[in-house]
């Protein structure tokens, strides 16, 4: 059993690195900061701390107006964040234990006892005056909502009726959501298999989303069991994917468009689909599942290895070679095939063979402002100018990829951001630039909620005019 004090010490260090600009994932994998046997514990504690960092900082400023030395400050704020975190936050220790262990952590990290006594005095004062202090701290919005002030201001401007609900959703723990592989099983059969293992789903709460998702295959689980232990994981009967993300392939390759593509395949045309930013491959494999089902439904099943290239080809691009390996791993677990290329999607001349694509998914790199509940470090890592800068990159990618799309082909532009500069604004600019682009109905902005992440999508068709 690892002492909580060592975990607190490592968490304080990890969070300090995040505040200096490193992603939490990166820090957790750095053995010089977090020893491998501590990783899971430190991750759970860091999540709780980052979700309460705004409040913790404001409290520290009230309790100790003169900023302590950085390591002491980090440990103090870490302990304060855990003292104010929700009971189910992954850090459910009593106040007494937390304070004692934080003091032990301070002793272990400092040769003198001064910092330990300082931390002890501050934390005990916080416990005595908790209510008055938290009320006073909450006068700052950064403390009340636990997001940077610029982020709160931007959301309030863009979403006057929803900004508080978005910020509240960002504080929730996300559910585990599966995408059932309809090429292998059905939602009913898989739900029954889960039930046999005692795994409950929130099926009925999904009902309002069903028409949107078109042959919905999403299952939100009530708890968060280890996925490897769920039925037929190794056989590829399901993938882990958020509901909003499942909307991407479902909208790009919706039933109506798939019927059109299958019709063309019947006339001997080989369907070409591009996933331009593919890693780890969640949407690549979904696109393939939808193609497999459509061809099977049309009496043209793609069963054996040799059949794979017969009706369709899926090309998956990824800039980052290490991440591209994840695409291969996912394809192999699901027993699927795609042409995986390591390339910059915007540099078309470097990877395109000149044969147009019938459908393109651009799941573009973005600020990830819609998946804050899964990555609580994101809000503290981003800067105000980031959404605009990412939007520029996204527009350039859209324009380059558009040249590779066939006439009457479709392109879905998606980001996991809630900021308009990485969504609606880019859609408008793109439609002004590309006269052949026609906007089709799509979901648009998914506001983060209990059931799904924040996400944006826009669907375009290339007209012949
Ligand atoms: C939002 S993630 C994609 C998630 C993926 N579609 C899925 O559902 O599993 C964006 C990916 O784009 C990659 N990327 C960033 N810039 C790129 C570029 N210029 N060309 C190709 N891939 C790029 C990133 O490395 C990252 O893996």
State how far the Cα of 408 lies from the Cα of 191, in Å rounded to an integer. Answer: 38
Active site residues: 416
Atom of ligand 1 nearest to the CA of 281: 9
Q: List the domain range (segments joined by +) for residue 83.
A: 4-146
For residue 189, the CA-to-ligand 1 centroid distance in Å is 33
Whether 277 is in the pocket of ligand 1, judged by its Cβ within 6 Å, is yes
Whether 282 is in the pocket of ligand 1, judged by its Cβ within 6 Å, is yes
What percent of the chain has pLDDT above 90? 86
Same domain, 138 and 257: no
Q: Is 128 within the bounds of a domain?
A: yes
Same domain, 280 and 133: no
Q: Is 173 within the bounds of a domain?
A: no
Residues 14-36 pLDDT 10s: 999 999 999 999 999 999 999 99
Whether 341 is in the pocket of ligand 1, judged by its Cβ within 6 Å, is no
Whether 279 is in the pocket of ligand 1, judged by its Cβ within 6 Å, is yes
Q: Is 117 within the bounds of a domain?
A: yes
Q: Is 423 within the bounds of a domain?
A: yes
Whether 344 is in the pocket of ligand 1, judged by its Cβ within 6 Å, is yes
For residue 175, the CA-to-ligand 1 centroid distance in Å is 23
CATH number at residue 296: 3.40.50.150
Q: Is 140 within the bounds of a domain?
A: yes
Q: Is 197 within the bounds of a domain?
A: no
pLDDT for position 45: 96
Boundary (domain end) residue, out of 126, 146, 166: 146
Residues 361-418 pLDDT 10s: 999 999 999 999 999 999 999 999 999 999 999 999 999 999 999 999 999 999 999 9
Q: Measuring CA to CA, how many Å separate 349 from each of 192, 307, 414?
A: 49, 29, 23
Pick from 357, 457, 346, 365: nearest CA to 410: 357
* Ligand 1 pocket test, candidate residues 277, 282, 328, 415, most atoms within 8 A of CB: 277
Atom 9 in ligand 1: residue holding the nearest Cα: 282
Same domain, 281 and 417: yes
Same domain, 120 and 248: no
- The string of DSSP letters for 190-218 reads HHHHHHHTT--B-GGGGGGGHHHHSS--E
Same domain, 382 and 257: yes
Q: Is 165 within the bounds of a domain?
A: no
Same domain, 298 and 413: yes
CATH number at residue 24: 1.10.940.10
For residue 17, the CA-to-ligand 1 centroid distance in Å is 25
Residues 209-222 pLDDT 10s: 655 555 678 888 98
State how far the Cα of 155 lies from the Cα of 413, in Å rounded to an integer. Answer: 21
Both structure tokens of 367: 């600020």
Boundary (domain end) residue, out of 109, 131, 146: 146
Whether 278 is in the pocket of ligand 1, judged by its Cβ within 6 Å, is yes
State how far the Cα of 69 lies from the Cα of 292, in Å rounded to an integer. Answer: 59
State how far the Cα of 10 lies from the Cα of 46, in Å rounded to an integer. Answer: 9
Same domain, 266 and 411: yes
For residue 312, the CA-to-ligand 1 centroid distance in Å is 22
Same domain, 137 and 31: yes
Same domain, 258 and 110: no
Residues 320-335 pLDDT 10s: 999 999 999 999 999 9
Same domain, 23 and 140: yes
Atom 15 in ligand 1: residue holding the nearest Cα: 365
pLDDT for position 104: 94
* Ligand 1 pocket test, candidate residues 349, 365, 375, 392, most atoms within 8 A of CB: 365
Q: Is 152 within the bounds of a domain?
A: no
Boundary (domain end) residue, out of 111, 146, 181: 146
For residue 417, the CA-to-ligand 1 centroid distance in Å is 14
pTM of the model: 0.95
Atom 2 in ligand 1: residue holding the nearest Cα: 365
Same domain, 313 and 458: yes
Whether 362 is in the pocket of ligand 1, judged by its Cβ within 6 Å, is no
Same domain, 368 and 258: yes
Atom of ligand 1 nearest to the CA of 276: 21
Opening angle at CA 424, ends 423 and 429, nearest 5:
100
Structural domain count of the chain: 2
Taking residues 136-145, report their average pLDDT: 98
Q: Measuring CA to CA, how many Å separate 395 from each of 15, 288, 428, 445?
A: 33, 26, 10, 17
């Amino acid at each position: 059993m690892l002492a909580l004090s060592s975990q607190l010490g490592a968490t304080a260090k990890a969070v300090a690195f995040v505040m200096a600009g490193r992603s939490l994932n990166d820090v957790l994998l750095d053995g010089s900061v977090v020893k491998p046997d501590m990783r899971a514990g430190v991750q759970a504690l860091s999540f709780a701390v980052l979700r309460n960092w705004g409040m913790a900082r404001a409290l520290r400023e009230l309790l100790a107006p003169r900023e302590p030395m950085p390591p002491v400050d980090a440990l103090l704020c870490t302990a304060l964040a855990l003292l104010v975190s929700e009971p189910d936050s992954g850090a459910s220790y009593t106040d007494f234990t937390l304070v004692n262990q934080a003091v032990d952590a301070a002793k272990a990290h400092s040769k003198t006892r001064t910092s330990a006594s300082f931390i002890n005095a501050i934390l005990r004062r916080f416990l005595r005056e908790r209510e008055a202090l938290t009320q006073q701290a909450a006068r700052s919005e950064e403390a009340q909502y636990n997001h940077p002030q610029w982020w709160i201001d931007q959301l309030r401007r863009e979403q006057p009726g929803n900004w508080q609900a978005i910020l509240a959703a960002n504080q929730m723990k996300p559910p585990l959501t599966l995408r059932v592989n309809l090429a292998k099983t059905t939602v009913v059969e898989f739900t029954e298999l889960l039930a046999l293992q005692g795994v409950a789903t929130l099926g009925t709460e999904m009902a309002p989303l069903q028409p949107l998702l078109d042959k919905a295959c999403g299952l939100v689980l009530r708890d968060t069991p280890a996925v490897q232990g769920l039925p037929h994981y190794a056989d590829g009967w399901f993938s882990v994917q958020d509901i909003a993300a499942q909307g991407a392939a479902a909208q790009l390759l919706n039933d109506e468009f798939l019927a059109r593509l299958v019709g063309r395949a019947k006339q001997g045309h080989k369907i070409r689909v591009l996933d331009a930013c593919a890693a780890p491959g969640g949407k690549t494999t979904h696109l393939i599942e939808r193609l497999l089902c459509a061809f099977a439904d049309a009496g043209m099943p793609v069963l054996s290895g040799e059949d794979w290239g017969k009706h369709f080809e899926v090309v998956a691009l990824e800039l980052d070679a290490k991440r591209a390996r994840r695409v291969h791993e996912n394809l192999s677990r699901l027993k699927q095939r795609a042409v995986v290329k390591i390339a910059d999607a915007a540099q078309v001349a470097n990877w395109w063979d000149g044969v147009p694509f019938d459908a393109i998914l651009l799941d573009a790199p973005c600020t990830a402002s819609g998946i804050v509940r899964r990555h609580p470090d994101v809000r503290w890592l981003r800067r105000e100018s980031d959404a605009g800068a990412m939007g520029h990159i996204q527009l350039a990618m859209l324009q380059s990829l558009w040249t590779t799309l066939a006439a009457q082909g479709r392109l879905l532009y998606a980001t996991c951001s809630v900021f308009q500069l990485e969504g609606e604004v880019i859609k408008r600019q793109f439609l002004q630039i590309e006269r052949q682009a026609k906007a089709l109905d799509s979901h648009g902005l998914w506001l983060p909620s209990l059931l799904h992440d924040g996400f944006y999508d826009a669907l375009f068709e290339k007209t012949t005019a």
